[in-house]
């Protein structure tokens, strides 16, 4: 085996910023990704996402409002609990001046948004600007980076879907932000949100998101749940008041998640948040940003979470990243299932669409996806899945494939008995007497689940 050549080369770790003389980082992708249709074999083309194609009364771009998440794509390096970063993100190197690095990161981010053709992006304050020695310094840096972002947005036409404050990474937030036992920490978190909401407003953001972060608890032994929920309600009311004070017209969104990082996250799922919003008088002010894998972690299908939100008038936006069926944590993978997303898109369309919201890919590549081009493959695939799902959903809804079946199934509730029950005109005694008088003995009717599963698959197969 002396001269055996295993055919391996050492990895090409091209460091340095932006990569070549053209000043580009993603040199393998020369221009914008284009639509080439389902027959295309070009991995750097869209097969389904055709931005200008009309679907019902809107274009695909208007329906889907795709956004790239700044954090996974540009502020992370692929590190996990067991090992250091694997991705090629030279601006994250420790020896860089933090503001210099933040500027380089932003140049690369906008190069990516433009080449991908993503109309929106989303950020946490700490994704776009470094943390300074004091809060005041952090704010100065954030403002400077917001100016920088405004310039890139103006130049490229890319818009902000939402901003959000990172109230979870730093040690100070270990016991939560709004739900912290220390009111001074509550104040610190409020100041940060005030600043980030102002920044989002300055950048014309369409929404402002609050994901619970560490708003939850690990042990009941040290936690006063009732008090913490009141604090959270107060905090959110402050955010809403401030939104009106500054004239921010975007939507305030809460992102449900049942656990991780804490064992019990207060914003467990859509129904839990609906109850919370009613209790704290916020139901007309706040909507939901629903993430696919957070639904899974809560033991729900994504479509369940979306349906609950739609039926309660609470659907705001979605994070389209999925989990893995056998991993119980937030793996943040790009969506791959047209069937799963078609059912959710069907509900979204039934509810009138995403409004100020959009489809954010709060998703990251796997740790072994070490090439720059992998970031394109990831997003192109996700966008195509969502676009195809939109087409499937639109056809199903236009045909009334599922809505018609449901209307028939509940028909009795539109007739006299159902209407009288729902209007409160019949007591338990009335119902008892009616059953006796008419010898009522209703017979079961088929739910037709298997036939409907086949029907959905036919739509998935035939859409083009």
Q: Is 141 in the site for Ni ion (CB under 5 A)?
A: no
- The whole-angstrom separation of Cα 77 and Cα 84 is 8
Tell me which stretch binds Ni ion (CB under 5 A): 31-39, 351-359, 361-369, 379-387. 361-369
Q: Which does residue 164 touch among ligand XLS, Ni ion, none (CB within 5 to 8 A, set by kind)?
A: ligand XLS
Q: What count of other Cβ atoms lies within 10 Å of the Cβ of residue 215?
A: 27
Kindly name the residue from 50, 88, 125, 127 that is annotated as catalytic.
127
Residue 96 C-beta: closest distance to Ni ion, Å: 27
236 vs 349 by CB, closer to ligand XLS = 236
Is 201 labeled as catalytic in the residue annotation? no
**Total number of residues binding Ni ion (CB under 5 A)?**
4
Burial of 59 (0-12, 13-18, 19+ CB in 10 A): middle
Q: Which does residue 207 touch among ligand XLS, Ni ion, none (CB within 5 to 8 A, set by kind)?
A: none
User: Angle, to 10 degrees, between the axis of helix 338-350 and the axis of helix 302-311?
Assistant: 0
Kindly name the residue from 63, 72, 88, 124 that is annotated as catalytic.
124
Q: What count of other Cβ atoms lies within 10 Å of the Cβ of residue 342?
A: 25
Q: Is 267 in the site for Ni ion (CB under 5 A)?
A: no
- The whole-angstrom separation of Cα 296 and Cα 332 is 12
Residue 359 C-beta: closest distance to ligand XLS, Å: 13
Residue 250 C-beta: closest distance to ligand XLS, Å: 15
Q: Alpha-carbon dihedral of residues 101, 154, 242, 275, nearest 10 degrees? A: -90
Q: Is 215 in the site for Ni ion (CB under 5 A)?
A: no
Q: Is 291 in the site for Ni ion (CB under 5 A)?
A: yes
Is 124 labeled as catalytic in the residue annotation? yes
Scored b (16 or more CB within 10 A) or e, 70-104 reads bbbbbbbbbeeeeeeebbbbbbbeeebeebebbbb
215 vs 319 by CB, closer to ligand XLS = 319
> H or E element: which one contains 461?
helix 449-462
User: Angle, to 10 degrees, between the axis of helix 135-156 and the axis of helix 98-116?
Assistant: 30
DSSP string, 136-183: HHHHHHHHHHHHHHHHHHHHH--EEEEEE---SSSGGGTT-STT-S-H
109 vs 292 by CB, closer to Ni ion = 292
Q: Is 305 in the site for Ni ion (CB under 5 A)?
A: no
53 vs 259 by CB, closer to Ni ion = 259
312 vs 330 by CB, closer to ligand XLS = 330
Evaluate the CA torsion angle 424, 429, 432, 437 in order and state its sign. Answer: negative
Q: Is 127 in the site for Ni ion (CB under 5 A)?
A: no
- 362: closest CA among 338, 344, 378, 385? 378
DSSP string, 279-294: HTT-TTTEEEEEEHHH
Residue 278 C-beta: closest distance to ligand XLS, Å: 23
Residue 336 C-beta: closest distance to ligand XLS, Å: 18
Q: Is 330 in the site for Ni ion (CB under 5 A)?
A: yes
83: Cα separation from own chain's centroid:
26
List of residues contacting ligand XLS (CB under 6 A): 124, 164, 209, 211, 255, 257, 291, 319, 330, 362
Contact 460, 392 (CB under 8 A): yes
Q: Is 319 in the site for Ni ion (CB under 5 A)?
A: yes
Residue 334 C-beta: closest distance to Ni ion, Å: 13
User: What sections of 157-269 are H helices per DSSP?
Assistant: 183-202, 225-246
- Give the CB-nearest residue to ligand XLS: 211
Residue 332 C-beta: closest distance to Ni ion, Å: 6
Site pattern 87..106 for Ni ion (x: CB under 5 A): --------------------
Tell me which stretch binds Ni ion (CB under 5 A): 13-21, 177-185, 290-298, 386-394. 290-298
Residues forming contacts to Ni ion in the complex (CB under 5 A) are 291, 319, 330, 362
Residues forming the active site: 124, 127
């Amino acid at each position: 085996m002396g001269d055996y050549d295993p055919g391996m080369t050492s990895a090409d770790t091209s460091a340095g910023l932006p990569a070549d003389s053209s000043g580009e980082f993603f040199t393998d992708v020369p221009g914008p990704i284009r639509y080439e249709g389902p027959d295309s074999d070009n991995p750097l083309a869209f097969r389904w996402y055709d931005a200008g194609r009309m679907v019902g009364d809107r274009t695909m771009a208007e329906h889907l409002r795709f956004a790239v998440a700044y954090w996974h794509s540009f502020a992370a390096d692929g590190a996990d609990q067991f090992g250091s970063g694997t991705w090629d993100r030279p601006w994250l190197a420790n020896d860089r001046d933090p503001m210099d690095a933040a500027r380089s990161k932003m140049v690369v981010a906008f190069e990516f948004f433009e080449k991908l053709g993503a109309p929106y992006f989303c950020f946490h304050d700490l994704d776009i600007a470094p943390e300074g020695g004091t809060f005041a310094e952090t704010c100065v840096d954030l403002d400077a980076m917001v100016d920088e972002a405004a310039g890139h947005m103006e130049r490229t036409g890319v818009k902000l879907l939402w901003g959000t404050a990172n109230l979870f990474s730093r040690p100070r937030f270990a016991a939560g932000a709004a739900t912290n036992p220390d009111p001074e920490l509550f104040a610190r978190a409020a100041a940060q949100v005030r600043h980030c909401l102002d920044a989002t407003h300055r950048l014309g953001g369409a929404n402002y998101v609050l994901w619970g972060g560490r708003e939850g608890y690990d042990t009941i032994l040290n936690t006063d749940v009732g008090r913490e929920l009141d604090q959270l309600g107060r905090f959110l009311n402050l955010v809403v008041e401030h939104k009106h004070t500054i004239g921010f017209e975007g939507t305030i969104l809460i992102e449900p998640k049942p656990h991780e990082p804490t064992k019990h996250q207060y914003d467990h799922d859509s129904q839990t948040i609906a109850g919370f919003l009613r209790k704290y008088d916020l139901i007309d002010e706040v909507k939901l940003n629903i993430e696919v894998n957070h639904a899974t972690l809560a033991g729900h299908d994504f479509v369940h979470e979306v349906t609950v939100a739609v039926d309660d008038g609470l659907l705001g936006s979605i994070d389209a990243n999925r989990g893995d069926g056998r991993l119980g944590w937030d793996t943040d993978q790009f969506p791959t299932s047209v069937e799963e997303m078609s059912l959710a898109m069907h509900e979204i369309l039934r509810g009138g669409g995403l409004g100020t919201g959009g489809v954010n890919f709060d998703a990251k590549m796997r740790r072994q996806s070490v090439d720059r081009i992998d970031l394109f493959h990831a997003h192109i695939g996700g966008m195509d899945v969502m676009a195809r799902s939109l087409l499937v959903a639109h056809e199903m809804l236009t045909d009334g494939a599922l809505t018609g079946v449901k209307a028939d199934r509940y028909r009795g509730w539109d007739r006299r008995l159902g209407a009288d029950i729902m209007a409160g005109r019949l007591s338990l005694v009335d119902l008892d007497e009616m059953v006796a008088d008419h010898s009522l003995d209703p017979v079961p009717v088929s739910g037709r689940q298997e036939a409907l599963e086949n029907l959905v698959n036919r739509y998935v197969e035939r859409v083009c």
